Structure 1
């Protein structure tokens, strides 16, 4: 329902009336460069029809705000702070400030958070693992500089920083198969409404796992839960209680691997004697001696610093899309070992 009190009308109301994005409305109201006459007329007509008046603070803001908005799709992820630290290190001497926005899991919630940052006239956006529609993302990037992290597929209007997730998953399968494991379960995260090639990292990791298993003549076994400690626990319980339990489990994120370790402990299984466990991300806690998790390192700090560097280039005038791929490496620790021979085997 459209608001009738001019004091309660927002930029989003104007955007709906004009049939454009909130970012486009902000650009018109700020008399920004690159606004077409047709766009200006549509937005102006909508503001007049609705009686919209920018708040004094918004009217006073012109030019650069020297703020960067960072969308965190998952604030509970232990990998996200590593990215944010890299962003902050890159802009420490630039005068730019970082403002964080929790996005949540749903595309709708993420869109609202992004629009709120646009409404506050931030200079640019870094979106960590956004699952918003591709068309919406492209439209957003036409109005404001955007760098996307952990989303595959090349954007026409935005830059991307991605881990080579397919290669990372292949490193895991190679490591486990060389240890003699053939029955390797992968704990994955739902793909949601996204479709290849524009998918998030977890889907690319699942693709890499399946391809590496097939290439070695092994049968992929995927359990889809979530990249959370509880998701790893639930997935591991289902796999380890099956008629043919795996000898190794590859969790697509370290936080999920922690859940796998909890499940193995509750079932009285030895890691790695009864089941080997591998994670992904190499978060700090993975290296603790009590955990010693074999995992894939994708350098969260480098991911963050490169995203900030690309955004600075955008702010300086570059308009050609760039994709930066972060190399992966396997970090071997004590959670993996050679497969134990079956009882009675020579």
Structure 2
């Protein structure tokens, strides 16, 4: 193909990977050769690769306390095998994530596990033509890649049910920006917010979504906004445990007791949520199970499976000490 296009082999590789620094002229030459030769990237790209027994894991958000639990599950599944796990720190933007992915591919990893990537769906399909890919926390089935997701709508409904049964009617949900993705191929936070809205409407309650970020500061800012209203919520359901920690900080600054004055809940059931001093009511989606299933699916791909598989983790409510009925007043 490089001879047909009149460019180098590395240039062809860059175009196939949609790498940075590729001129429009070079891209046109390679695309013309692809069409002229009837080239199929999946077969060609994989047949040219040698096995390195390394697996790349993209950490889209290195600040997330949930990501390390996924990595633990991946490593546990590969324990005792010849495979080694290579971590690639990504970032909040598609560009930064793509650069990290390209670095992993340039390292000749045999497969990729992408945790919450917000790169375009078309790009995910292209990546899966180069190496086997398993995508975590991205809803919507892929044609070429496998996916592992939490049933976020169910998890959000479980939390709304728990809070409504306690007597709460003003339940605020703190979410994360949707970004440029569109349904059905969205990340877990969007599916989680959708599930919250549907569950609230089903019970005749008015949804109240504050969009900040899945960070401690994001939860703090979202809680200050909600609690500063004339008619503030009696419960704040943060879409991630890390954001719930920020809600707890905001409640403390405002002199509110949890759960006597304000109920605070999260999502993920990270290790910190079980610390006695925090004891956060949350939704468990088993990060280690997510990681181990992802690694198993990747191994199946490496052993020859081509048909895409989508696996859904069943969430469960973990009730602790930060949720209680609303104040009588």
What whole-Å deviation, never above 9, does each CA across 1:216-242 have from its counterpart, x for those lacking one? Answer: 000000000000000000000000011
Deviation at 1:121, TM superposition (A): 1.0
> Does 2:263 match 1:279?
no
Q: How far apart, CA to CA, are the structure 2 residues paired with 1:40 and 1:195? A: 30
Q: How far apart, CA to CA, are the structure 2 residues paired with 1:148 and 1:41? A: 22
After superposition, where does 1:164-203 map in structure 2 within 5 Å? 164-203=151-190
Unaligned runs of 5+ in 2: 1-7, 20-33, 42-47
What whole-Å deviation, never above 9, does each CA across 1:123-169 have from its counterpart, x for those lacking one? Answer: 00000000000011111111210000000000000000000000000
Q: Bigger radius of gyration, 1 or 2?
A: 1
Deviation at 1:41, TM superposition (A): 12
Deviation at 1:38, TM superposition (A): 2.5
Aligned to 1:20: 16
Question: CA distance change for structure 1 residues 108 and 39 in 2, over 3 Å: closer, same or farther?
Answer: farther
Aligned-partner SS, 1:207? helix
Q: Give the TM-score normalised by the residue count of structure 1.
A: 0.84
The match for 1:239 among 191, 212, 226 is 226
Q: How far apart, CA to CA, are the structure 1 residues paired with 2:182 and 2:294? A: 23
Question: CA distance change for structure 1 residues 273 and 10 in 2, over 3 Å: closer, same or farther?
Answer: farther
Q: How far apart, CA to CA, are the structure 1 residues paired with 2:81 and 2:37? A: 36
Deviation at 1:20, TM superposition (A): 2.8
**Structure 1 vs Structure 2 CA RMSD:** 2.0
After superposition, where does 1:85-234 map in structure 2 within 5 Å? 85-234=72-221
Q: Runs ≥4 in structure 1, deviation > 4 angstroms?
A: 13-16, 39-42
Deviation at 1:103, TM superposition (A): 0.8
- Alignment length (residue pairs): 302
After superposition, where does 1:18-57 map in structure 2 within 5 Å? 19-21=15-17, 38=37
Q: How far apart, CA to CA, are the structure 2 residues paired with 1:77 and 1:218? A: 31
Q: How far apart, CA to CA, are the structure 2 residues paired with 1:310 and 1:119? A: 22
The match for 1:72 among 56, 59, 78 is 59
Deviation at 1:21, TM superposition (A): 2.2
Aligned-partner SS, 1:174? helix
